[in-house]
Chain A
Amino acid sequence: MNKDTLLIAGKNYNSRLLLGTGNYKDFAETQAAVEASGAEISTIAIRRSNIGQNPNEPNLLDILPPSKYTLLPNTAGCYSADDAVRTLRLARELLDGHSLVKLEVLGDPQSLYPNVVETLAAAKTLVAEGFQVMVYTSDDPIVARQLEDIGCVAIMPLASLIGSGMGILNPWNLQLIMERVQVPVIVDAGVGTASDAAIAMELGCDGVLMNTAIAAAQLPVLMASAMKKAVEAGRAAYLAGRMPKKLYSASPSSPTQGLISRPTA
């Protein structure tokens, strides 16, 4: 375990990159991408079993064993607090009592923007039932604080819309969120390429969760390794403390004395 670990709900993680498992070509690509990313936490979705399917068909959990990965069941596709709560109760049963979950309640099927009112309601119920809730939300700093007050273990604001690849659209709101909450802030949604992930980490975010940025890349496994480096680089840059930005500086990085063709005294 390195020294700069990500602490979520009492457990330390080396990797600050969290990975979704959706939309890969097949399980082999999913597994290769997760490995290349170095992610230790992976989201999964809960869906009706296709009854009558080939009973020998491989299952996602065969390539992502709960013994090796921290699985984060999500509530993707839920538009009400009730559906989200039911989904996570099923997920907890499916995963033998595992209680670390990702809550998301959507408000609109086109934009996939979160419905924060339903999200707050679902979070209250889930926390009361003993779930450890990592909550996907908008970049509203007031809502973020309310979700923390309810007892969520991580706040996961969007950088931009799910699957949009638009990157960090409002770094100022992310900064407001980080000023106000004590639990980890993990950017979730909208990351498109490596620089987006690095920027999130440079802002001081505790981690980044992404899926489409890797799954929809031309070469997903290569992008996964790029993202691993980006999150590490951004984090190191943040810890290193960047130089200030200024309009101009009269201090060049080379000496001002001893220039040739200058008259001496």
Chain B
Amino acid sequence: MISVSINGVTRHFDTPVNVVTLLEQMQMGGKRIAVECNGEIIPRGQFDQHLLADGDKLEIVVAVGGG
């Protein structure tokens, strides 16, 4: 069981998941997003390879209106 912080909210997973699976579980597959894990950008091309680990802090962002 691993605990991961995603956008400031702690979530638990029975087994480590990769970013693709994570995004699908969160209904964000297909959306234009960017992901940072522990301060490092995870490139889109590496989503399937990057496995979440216990204690990871993720930021998942989108474009919104702003000046």
Given contacts A51-B28, A52-B26, A55-B31, contact A90 B65 (CB under 8 A): no
Is chain A's interface secondary structure helix, strand, loop, or mixed overall?
mixed
Within 8 A of A (CB), among B1-57: 6-9, 26-28, 30-36, 39, 41, 43-44
Q: How many residues of B contact A (CB 8 A)?
A: 27
Contact A94 B62 (CB under 8 A): yes
Residues on B with C-beta less than 8 A from A22 are 65-67
Assess the A45–B65 pair: CB atoms within 8 A: yes
A124 within 8 A of B: no
- Give the number of A-B contacts (CB < 8 Å): 102
Is the beta-carbon distance between A48 and B27 smaller than 8 angstroms? no
By a CB distance below 8 angstroms, the chain A residues around B30 are 55
Complex Cα spacing A73 to B6, Å: 22
The one of B31, B36, B64 in contact with A86, judged by C-beta atoms closer than 8 angstroms, is B36
Q: Return A15 CB to nearest CB of chain B, in Å.
A: 17
Answer whether A212 and B60 are a contact pair too, CB < 8 Å, given A49-B33, A94-B32, A94-B34: no
* Complex CA–CA separation, A55 to B33 (angstroms): 12
A59, CB-defined interface residue at 8 Å: yes
Which residues of B come within 8 Å of A, CB atoms? Answer: 6-9, 26-28, 30-36, 39, 41, 43-44, 59-67
